[in-house]
Structure 1
Amino acid sequence: MEYYKYKSLNEFAIKGLKYKSPEKLNRLKDPKNKPSVEILIDISNMFDINIDWLLTGRGPMLRDQVPQAVPSPTGVPLIPAEALAGYGAGELVITEHMIEHRYVIPEFRSATCIIRVKGDSMSPTYLPGDMIAIKKIDAKTFIQWNKPHVLDTVQGILIKRVLQSESGYILRSDNPSYPDITVPSKEVYNMYLILGLIRFE
């Protein structure tokens, strides 16, 4: 395993990523384990590496080689849900190589993008394969409580209903098999309101 210009995983963690200890990266000594989204974000920010390249292997490796988003009036872009992750509290930049398709739907004109649903935690409201139109919101200003949202979190991309909690948010699934999750607000980087869905029979 290579650690950029550092000699060991410990040195990479402490000197490269400025961690206080290497514990966060110790699990990566096993080549079968993959780094968490949080670690990938840290690597992206510290070494100016394109997060899309880290997640998917697509596009240029370095941020300064990433093409700027191209405004288009021809529809709302469909992108992989994973592309929402890795921006911290920054703005999502949708580049052309991320876009799988565009949909012209008047009701979704204000949408930021469209993503596909994975998993059954929000079943029967949203099923695997459904496409949902989402709009980025400022969670510090206004949240429609108990409405379904897409959240970019430390744990990854989640689709949940958002309820208020003293320590942050309660994230609730529509599928009763999944328990509530309580997360501190600082662990939620970005939040998107679900405007509607597209379902193919």
Structure 2
Amino acid sequence: MEKTIKTISNQPKSGFVRVFGESMAPELNPGDMVAVEQINNLNILLWGETYLIVTGPDANDMKIFRKVFPGPENDSLTLKARNPVNADMVLSKKHIQAMFAVKGSITQKHL
């Protein structure tokens, strides 16, 4: 996943990323291919929509899909997983290196 996201984050606007982990199940499942488009302004987001968030080393080099909501501070976001096993997370916008809107996904049910 890391190699794929780095490739996409170096592209001007969009690409595909494979899902790893179950934090967004049943919306996004392991192995799904997700179409993403990079966004340019972290202050103009659609609350409750799913985004791919990429952080740097100061925020543990995360590459995660989450539903995004306003944070407790103007410069933060609340990130929510679909899977209730995963707790909500508050992330300062300054830690976000890149953010991508999820445009669609392809699920592989059988080989």
Q: TM-score, normalization: structure 1?
A: 0.47
The answer to whether the Cα contact below 8 Å between 2:52 and 2:101 also exists between their aligned partners in 1 is yes
Could you list the runs of 5+ residues in structure 1 that have no partner in the other structure?
1-79, 86-90, 95-110
- 1:17-74 Cα shifts (integer Å, max 9, x gaps): xxxxxxxxxxxxxxxxxxxxxxxxxxxxxxxxxxxxxxxxxxxxxxxxxxxxxxxxxx
Which whole-Å CA distance do the structure 2 matches of 1:195 and 1:126 have between them? 12
Which whole-Å CA distance do the structure 1 matches of 2:43 and 2:70 have between them? 14
CA RMSD of aligned residues (A): 2.1
Which whole-Å CA distance do the structure 2 matches of 1:142 and 1:187 have between them? 17
Give the deviation of 1:92 after TM superposition.
3.1
Q: 1:82 to 1:162 in 2, by over 3 A?
A: farther
Larger RCO (alpha carbons 8 Å, 6+ apart): 2
Hey, which of these two has a bigger chunk of helix by percent?
1
The answer to whether the Cα contact below 8 Å between 2:4 and 2:17 also exists between their aligned partners in 1 is no
In the alignment, residue 114 of structure 1 is paired with which amino acid?
F
Residues paired across the two proteins, number: 102
Could you list the runs of 5+ residues in structure 2 that have no partner in the other structure?
none
Q: TM-score, normalization: structure 2?
A: 0.82
Give the deviation of 1:163 after TM superposition.
0.6
Question: In the alignment, is residue 112 of structure 1 matched against residue 29 of structure 2?
Answer: no
The answer to whether the Cα contact below 8 Å between 2:9 and 2:98 also exists between their aligned partners in 1 is no
Partner of residue 131, structure 1 = 33
Hey, which of these two has a bigger chunk of strand by percent?
2
